[in-house]
Chain A
Amino acid sequence: EVQLVESGGGLVQPGRSLRLSCAASGFTFDDYAMHWVRQVPGKGLEWVSGISWNSDHIDYADSVKGRFTISRDNAKNSLYLQMNSLRAEDTAFYYCAKSMRLLEWLSDWGQGTLVTVSS
């Protein structure tokens, strides 16, 4: 069974940093591209970033470019999102998800972790 388990969310002050993790199991992690998608509570979905299986290709939404960094460790079956210079508008549930390639559909999603940016 595919499992994607996010962790690392919490309350953080504006301007500070936070690192999210996603632990993957139940599939061959390095066969898949991985993504972060976020959702402001009660609002719609926003794709944040994606990374190819070997980290050769990385894309970001304009809203986070220059502040967020996606990475992965295939030996640890883990995906990460380093979030710097956090803003109130970054408050959201953050989901990790997998796809066969960077521009292919998201076949599995995690349950999400909540990031709250507030003073």
Chain B
Amino acid sequence: NFMLTQPHSVSESPGKTVTISCTGSSGSIASNFVQWYQQRPGSAPTTIIYEDNQRPSGVPDRFSGSIDSSSNSASLTISGLKTEDEADYYCQSYHSSTWVFGGGTKLTVL
């Protein structure tokens, strides 16, 4: 079964930059688009990156996505960290017409 693996947690200070990885278990992660979702405590998820590196309207350009085929991974980078960025982040892609989510990464901004 295709899986996406994320670090369980990351932490960084306000104003700094953090990168969250999402590694595919098999095949090429570049074969299908990767999305990133943000979920703040007690709220529903929202999309912050779609199609590897696109931002929906309203998402600040502090958020960016990329693909690294050499490591078969996708990355979410958040620059100029704010306390409001503290949330869970999930990557997502597709495999055989079904959707696969990573296990999620808890970002702490301290």
Contact = CB atoms under 8 A, between A and B. Distances in A.
Question: From DSSP, what is the main secondary structure of chain A's interface residues?
Answer: loop
Size bin of chain A's contact surface? 20 to 34
A36 to B, nearest CB: 11
Chain B CB within 10 A, most for which of A45, A46, A50, A107: A45
B94 to A, nearest CB: 5
Nearest to A61: B98
A44 B102 CA distance: 8
B97 A59 contact: yes
B89 to A, nearest CB: 11
B47 A105 contact: yes
Size bin of chain B's contact surface? 20 to 34
A110 interface: yes
A44 B44 contact: no
Given A44-B101, A44-B104, A45-B101, A109 B45 contact: yes
A45 B104 contact: yes
A95 B45 contact: yes
Interface of B: 32-33, 35, 37, 39, 43-47, 50-51, 56, 90, 92, 94, 97-104
